[in-house]
Structure 1
Amino acid sequence: MKNKFLCLSAAMMLVMVSCKEDKSTDSTESGAIAAKYEGTPMSDEWDAEIDGIVSKMTLEEKIGLLHGYSMFTNEGVEHLGIPEVHMADGPLGIREELERMSWAPLHLETDYATYYPAGGGLSATWNPEMAHTFGKSIGEEARAREKDVLLAPAFNIIRTPLGGRTFEYMTEDPFLNKSLVVPYVVGVQENNVAACIKHYAANNQETNRGTVDVLMDERTLREIYLPAFHDAVTKANAYSVMGAYNRFRGDYLCENPYMLQNILRDEWGFKGIVISDWDAVHSTKKALEAGTDLEMGTNKPSFEEFYFAKPLLAEVKAGKVSEAEVDKHAKRILKLLYNLKAMGKKEGRAKGSIATEAHFKDAYSIASESIILLKNSESLLPLNTNGLKSVAVIGANADKKHAQGGFGAGVKTKHEITPLAALKAKLPKSVTINYAEGYKTEFKPKKEMKFGDVTQEAKETVNDLDPKMLAEAVEAAKKSDVAILVVGANRDYETEASDRTDLTLPFGQQALISAVTKANPKTIVVFVAGSPYDLNQVEKENSTIVWNWYNGSESGNALVDVLLGNVNPSGKLPWTMPKRIEDSPAHATKSFPGGATEEYKEGILVGYRWFDTKNVAPLYPFGYGLSYTTFDFANAKTDKKEYGNDDTIKVTVEVKNTGKKDGKEVVQLYASKAESKVQRAAKELKGFNKVAVKSGSSQKVTIEVPVKELAYYNVASKKWVVEPGTYTFKLGNSSRDIKAEVSVTVK
């Protein structure tokens, strides 16, 4: 199957993408797209049956439901027909099967899975339909492996470019986050698999993540860090939530009554279960009564020593915790199992499928829409193969696979196409490929290392280029018509449990890029990475820059189809690329990485909000991405001039493709309000729509903005308030490239 899919012709690939384009052309209203994705609420219909089952359980059996009994399950009760809850990591695909009592893999032949694009790549599509495709596809794989809970998606706000999990998380913007998270969760749960949304909440750094106490004002919490969680619970109806490692205002997140009870259950009406991150529980009574339901992965000699195991049994027998409290959490576990059809009427539960050609196509579709053209000033792209005799392919990432690596969960897959393999398959046979590795991705041990500190997993990079490898790369570039440099990072360098120390390109790559470009000015620089880097010199010296991601099983095919012009790039940055780390808000305010506490001094001015409000020029702005064609915006207008609180504003604009290629553009709508009584960012994303437009044609795009989306959180009244007055909607294709404006009055 691998070879069959690799050898699909460019024409077949183009047909597949064209079908996607035609579909999105038909749907031009962002509000209509959003309305398609409403999750099924958790049902109460089995509550009486659940009460009866719990009444038959011993205290020990009920407690067994509430803690890990293997690495990824709790304990079932066989004589009552209660199965274990089976969980699986899944940010990049379904993790391979492990031994029950250890992290050692079982080395099976039945657990190969599809490797999906990381969260950064999915976010760069700016396409809710792709998010739904992702969720549905990975949900099918989870069911094929008989999982009940997928420990994904992870979508904490990207607060610092140095975050170790930036590649995995979504975006720096709460609106874009929630617009992608909702269809993702709905897609997963359509397969009778619970999505476990994570990490709740304010888990925005890996440095001291297990102990740091995050402090921020209430408005910042509500407007920036909670919206995606709110919509995942109230709109997508996520069935499970993962409590984060860090503290928030003094209490660990897994024993934080304000976050787990007051907000999650009382305000949002959450009916599912709260699962702790692995080793994130630090107490028995406090964590249980605060709202954690299932304790997983605690670092104890045995599962029976978890806080919710023998210690909980002892506290109930001592009268410190009531048995009614235990019953409450046990019933939540059973409600989850009934709603997933793991108990009760099991007919019709999804069977799923895994590592199929259909799923590889899903991965391809997402990857092909995520690739970002950062620069193309000499029009080297799309690559013209007419008369092309030779291509230098340089860089370790040209032939490196990224499904595994780093501290976090990877994917065991038989199918991962590298850029080099795709170039060999897709370039004309008459073209000679001169490959040179160029650099080594080497690390050396650090003398001192503290888990979770700002390190590279007890390693630091070797940044000295091997002279022989450099010479081979330069020689390959000199003797080739064009050079394709595939550089960037990898999943050992960008990894859970470690934030990066700076924005420097690792492994001596800047010197390699400069040398190759000097040897051959026709050099295309492709970055494979998930986080911002210092690209100032590359931007200055190079005419052609492409940004790829850890982009799944079909990454190489998607990238090469973009390079050859079979796919017109349409990806947009989901975060801001700064010129200097000091320009980013958490660093400009000197509030990262903190120590025992981390105060979010930038408040609501996260990401582009800071850059645009403070007039700090980024290297590449939020929402930025070029195309092989050009687009004009015209005739922007609203359906009315005045609106009330319960109204929905309809903003329309005509998008014309003024170039020679069919393409997709992301129309981005940012809201601004002058003379506000409260602090506001210069602009805030409040709507977007990705639309396919044929060359020479125009497409009318409608973006719906509920007036309530314009509200700010009033701390004094504890309510969302829409301030009356004039609002300006700025329409563009990045936060800095505004092409049209319209104003409305809110009464």
Structure 2
Amino acid sequence: MKKNKCVLLSALCLGTLLYSKTNAQSLVNPATEAKITTLIKKMTLQEKVNMIHANSSFTSAGVARLGIPELTTSDGPHGVRVEHGRGWDVVPNVNDAGTYLPTGNCLAATWNPALGYAFGSVLGSEAKYRGKDVILGPGINIIRSPLNGRNFEYQSEDPFLVSKMVVGYIKGVQDQGISACVKHFAANNEEVDRFTVNVEMSERALREIYLPGFKAAVTLGGANTVMGAYNKFRGQYATENKYLVNKVLKGEWGFKGVLISDWGAVHNTMEALQNGTDLEMGSDIGTPPLKYNKFYMGDTVVTLVNSGKVPVALIDDKVRRILRVMFKTHMINGGRTPGAYNTQAHQNTALKVAEEGIVLLKNEGKLLPLQKNNIKSIAVIGQNAERPNAYGGGSSQIKAKYEITPLQGLKNLLGSNVKISYAQGYKIARGQQADAQMIQEAVDAASKADVAIVYCGWTHGYDYNVWDDNAYDAEGADKPDMHMPFGQDELLKAVLKANPKTVVVLMGGGPIDISQWVNDSKAILEGWYAGMEGGNALAKIVFGEVNPSGKLPMTFPKKLDDSPAHKLGQFPGVNGTVHYNEGIFVGYRYFDTYHVEPQFAFGHGLSYTTFGYKGLQVQKTGSRQASVKVTITNTGNTAGAEVVQLYVRQQKPSVERPDKELKAFDKVFLKAGESKVITLKLNSDAFAYYDDKKHSWVADSGKYDVLLGSSSRDIRGQKSLVL
């Protein structure tokens, strides 16, 4: 075990080094461009067109006579998808059971960009082993509403946190010689009508909230590919959106890679060609079987070019972008190293992400950690305690080599030293209500045990073939509300009454309405979907072998009506359009500005130790830059990690601005009694807002507050500076 930990720590140290010192390798260099030009000159028009649309479910054509291979993609974003053939049938008896990493919300909850790099490295290595060229992840759409069925894949409500985590992830993947594909560009924030809904928002909201993560992915992470979204944006489909793709992505940001459509996201040949779509995937045109040459960017393009309606230079640009990615990832020029699959080191990364991502939400009376020597019996309650999740969620389905469930994790940790009884408590089935007999069995078990642990919350759609069945966290479906299904509230109220020493473990893609029983609970953990080692990680945290250090990457409202997307805006769309009337006031920006009390604040997460903040210093380092220093001390008796969060507030803004905005953070690991000086940098971006009228970023002169804290609602120190 110690050896494995050393291996993991070495990998994380390397990840930190690479993440901090390497720059994204440019897709463009003169020597490669010359080779690409030569190849394009040798290609026929038909060969070029074949390269810009799919030729099977997950591949696009190459040109064998010129040594250009097919481009092979695979879904992520937290594992390499189960193997498909040329069509959509799952291939039996192949080695596709790999590493099931925690989902995106758990990764973001680590607030550790070095783990983002390690996470991406696992994906890149395993994709390479499986013969993939592009891993379709990460997903970074902003968590706008608690109901979005795909929140589990996405990372945060905050664009700064997303930006920091996505860069590490992308570099981790691409340092393995595989392309990351950041998705879904842009404003894909609901699932139920994702294919048709038209998103309307202000330019300021777009620039300040919904685009920064994508910009960081391209300009800092160097993402080789970007996936367009299904939805419309201001009346035009996002994948073939002139403003989003041509003006912003390829124009302002200088993206030289490939804009890939989501599967079936292309709707018009001319708009796709002219507005930046480079590779069309998954279009289902006509009757089965699929005729790939009949895609929008198929043979019709040959006709258009030959008739003079479309210049061949437009097609050449798309082919050039694909070839750039192929050269960079050694698909053509050789040199691709072998990958590795489901290794011990990869499993250790899955465990580490889970350990750092699980969040201790409440710990009244210090019920946690439980002490092995003082516990003789545990009642484990809830179907989520024994239900695997790897093969759910829609396109993110993964065939895991194994998956440690929470119940198995407790058994692994405790062995035969503690008596563990299990009661199902509820039944996961669409429309299932509280079951009186199951609840009574759970109550009986809890009342007879020293402590009870209830595993509850959301569930994945389990079987891809019926992926909307029980799909409270899944592609293509949104949650009906924030209330736990299957009668879990009734179960919890009864169990908490039967045994006050009950630990509640929430599982799933994000916020849950827990108002019916939260005041009666002493200890609550957010366990997310924590991957193949999630059960072991949860057990270690419950019994104190790991000190929790996760922080919420999104606000947990007390009730759905408190969420700004529902209070001020719309969710889902109405008559085909969704208006983001909340503007920039997403998540904590709304809760803190409008003084709405959350259930748990953005950035919140408890520890088994305590941390002191002292000696806060703020020093200007330029007209629009500053350096912030603070000494963090572990004032408790247990080693642990604190996420130091830096927020900025303009005192007298000339335009409406949030009460505070996250602009820097650092995760610091400290032994008991240890102190460290943390330095955080603020550049001009930290003080700027987007001016809709000037169409530019503006950092006003004036007084700003710099706030350091443990969450957006737990501010430990404050200083001011004048720009």
| Residue 259 of structure 2 is aligned to residue 271 of structure 1 | no
Match of 1:49 among 35, 56, 67: 35
Once the two structures are TM-superposed, the CA of residue 430 in structure 1 deviates from its matched residue by: 2.4
- 1:659 aligned counterpart, secondary structure: coil
Match of 2:427 in 1: 440
Match of 2:641 among 664, 679, 690: 664
Match of 2:364 among 377, 390, 394: 377
Percentage of identical aligned residues: 46
Match of 1:458 in 2: none
Match of 2:589 in 1: 609
Q: CA RMSD in A?
A: 1.9
Counterpart Cα distance in 1 of 2:141 and 2:511: 16
| Counterpart residue identity of residue 526, structure 2 | W
Once the two structures are TM-superposed, the CA of residue 306 in structure 1 deviates from its matched residue by: 0.6
Counterpart Cα distance in 2 of 1:407 and 1:34: 31
Match of 1:480 in 2: 449
Match of 1:327 in 2: 316
Residues 62-461 of structure 1: pairs in structure 2 closer than 5 A: 62-101=48-87, 103-300=88-285, 301-344=290-333, 346-347=334-335, 349-443=336-430, 461=431
Counterpart Cα distance in 2 of 1:708 and 1:436: 52
Counterpart Cα distance in 2 of 1:480 and 1:15: 37
- 1:46 aligned counterpart, secondary structure: helix
- 1:386 aligned counterpart, secondary structure: helix
- 2:392 aligned counterpart, secondary structure: coil
Counterpart Cα distance in 2 of 1:653 and 1:536: 36
Once the two structures are TM-superposed, the CA of residue 13 in structure 1 deviates from its matched residue by: 8.0
Q: Say if 1:42 and 1:339, in contact at 8 Å, map to a contact too.
A: yes
Q: Say if 1:728 and 1:741, in contact at 8 Å, map to a contact too.
A: yes
Match of 2:466 in 1: none
| Counterpart residue identity of residue 232, structure 2 | R
After superposition, give the CA deviation of every residue in 1:263-294 in whole Å (9 maximum; x if it has no partner).
Answer: 11111111001000000000111111110000
Match of 1:550 in 2: 529
- 2:139 aligned counterpart, secondary structure: coil
- 2:71 aligned counterpart, secondary structure: coil
Task: Return closer, same or farther for 1:20/1:429 CA change in 2, 3 Å cut-off.
Answer: farther
Counterpart Cα distance in 2 of 1:326 and 1:19: 45
Unaligned runs of 5+ in 1: 1-7, 444-460
Task: Return closer, same or farther for 1:279/1:331 CA change in 2, 3 Å cut-off.
Answer: same
| Counterpart residue identity of residue 542, structure 1 | S
Counterpart Cα distance in 2 of 1:735 and 1:281: 40
Count the aligned residue pairs.
707
Task: Return closer, same or farther for 1:428/1:688 CA change in 2, 3 Å cut-off.
Answer: same
Q: What TM-score results when the alignment is normalised by the length of structure 2?
A: 0.95
| Counterpart residue identity of residue 306, structure 2 | K
- 1:639 aligned counterpart, secondary structure: strand
Q: Say if 2:434 and 2:491, in contact at 8 Å, map to a contact too.
A: no
Counterpart Cα distance in 2 of 1:533 and 1:724: 41
- 1:731 aligned counterpart, secondary structure: strand
Unaligned runs of 5+ in 2: 462-471
Once the two structures are TM-superposed, the CA of residue 639 in structure 1 deviates from its matched residue by: 3.1
311-320 or 48-57: bigger deviation: 311-320
Counterpart Cα distance in 2 of 1:732 and 1:183: 24
| Residue 621 of structure 2 is aligned to residue 634 of structure 1 | no
| Counterpart residue identity of residue 230, structure 1 | K
| Counterpart residue identity of residue 569, structure 1 | P
Once the two structures are TM-superposed, the CA of residue 428 in structure 1 deviates from its matched residue by: 4.8
Task: Return closer, same or farther for 1:13/1:354 CA change in 2, 3 Å cut-off.
Answer: closer
| Residue 705 of structure 2 is aligned to residue 728 of structure 1 | yes
Match of 1:507 in 2: 486
Q: Say if 2:75 and 2:395, in contact at 8 Å, map to a contact too.
A: no
| Counterpart residue identity of residue 358, structure 1 | A
Counterpart Cα distance in 1 of 2:509 and 2:33: 44
Residues 580-619 of structure 1: pairs in structure 2 closer than 5 A: 580-595=559-574, 596-619=576-599
Match of 2:475 among 492, 496, 501: 496
Once the two structures are TM-superposed, the CA of residue 537 in structure 1 deviates from its matched residue by: 2.4
| Counterpart residue identity of residue 193, structure 1 | I
Q: Say if 1:643 and 1:745, in contact at 8 Å, map to a contact too.
A: no
Task: Return closer, same or farther for 1:18/1:414 CA change in 2, 3 Å cut-off.
Answer: closer
Counterpart Cα distance in 2 of 1:319 and 1:173: 47
Match of 1:455 in 2: none
| Counterpart residue identity of residue 532, structure 1 | P
Once the two structures are TM-superposed, the CA of residue 317 in structure 1 deviates from its matched residue by: 2.7
Counterpart Cα distance in 2 of 1:19 and 1:629: 26
Once the two structures are TM-superposed, the CA of residue 165 in structure 1 deviates from its matched residue by: 0.6
- 1:137 aligned counterpart, secondary structure: helix
Q: Say if 1:536 and 1:579, in contact at 8 Å, map to a contact too.
A: yes
| Counterpart residue identity of residue 691, structure 2 | N
- 2:662 aligned counterpart, secondary structure: strand
Once the two structures are TM-superposed, the CA of residue 35 in structure 1 deviates from its matched residue by: 4.1
Match of 1:523 among 489, 492, 502: 502
Residues 684-703 of structure 1: pairs in structure 2 closer than 5 A: 684-703=661-680
- 2:37 aligned counterpart, secondary structure: helix
Q: Say if 2:11 and 2:118, in contact at 8 Å, map to a contact too.
A: no
Q: Say if 1:37 and 1:236, in contact at 8 Å, map to a contact too.
A: no
Task: Return closer, same or farther for 1:658/1:117 CA change in 2, 3 Å cut-off.
Answer: same
Task: Return closer, same or farther for 1:306/1:92 CA change in 2, 3 Å cut-off.
Answer: same
Q: Say if 2:145 and 2:563, in contact at 8 Å, map to a contact too.
A: yes
Once the two structures are TM-superposed, the CA of residue 471 in structure 1 deviates from its matched residue by: 2.1
Task: Return closer, same or farther for 1:539/1:15 CA change in 2, 3 Å cut-off.
Answer: farther
| Counterpart residue identity of residue 607, structure 2 | S
Counterpart Cα distance in 1 of 2:250 and 2:681: 29
- 2:121 aligned counterpart, secondary structure: helix
Counterpart Cα distance in 1 of 2:490 and 2:387: 20
Task: Return closer, same or farther for 1:610/1:84 CA change in 2, 3 Å cut-off.
Answer: same
Counterpart Cα distance in 1 of 2:4 and 2:559: 39
Task: Return closer, same or farther for 1:15/1:132 CA change in 2, 3 Å cut-off.
Answer: closer
Task: Return closer, same or farther for 1:691/1:356 CA change in 2, 3 Å cut-off.
Answer: same
- 2:659 aligned counterpart, secondary structure: coil
Counterpart Cα distance in 1 of 2:98 and 2:324: 29
Q: Say if 1:92 and 1:118, in contact at 8 Å, map to a contact too.
A: yes
349-358 or 167-176: bigger deviation: 349-358
After superposition, give the CA deviation of every residue in 1:368-418 in whole Å (9 maximum; x if it has no partner).
Answer: 000111111121211111142111111111111110123332111122111
- 2:365 aligned counterpart, secondary structure: coil
After superposition, give the CA deviation of every residue in 1:152-187 in whole Å (9 maximum; x if it has no partner).
Answer: 000000110111111110100000000100111011
| Residue 449 of structure 2 is aligned to residue 463 of structure 1 | no
Once the two structures are TM-superposed, the CA of residue 571 in structure 1 deviates from its matched residue by: 0.4
Q: Say if 1:123 and 1:574, in contact at 8 Å, map to a contact too.
A: yes
Task: Return closer, same or farther for 1:639/1:590 CA change in 2, 3 Å cut-off.
Answer: closer
Counterpart Cα distance in 2 of 1:75 and 1:606: 42
Task: Return closer, same or farther for 1:37/1:395 CA change in 2, 3 Å cut-off.
Answer: farther
Counterpart Cα distance in 2 of 1:385 and 1:12: 25
Q: Say if 2:19 and 2:114, in contact at 8 Å, map to a contact too.
A: no
- 1:106 aligned counterpart, secondary structure: coil
Counterpart Cα distance in 1 of 2:340 and 2:319: 31
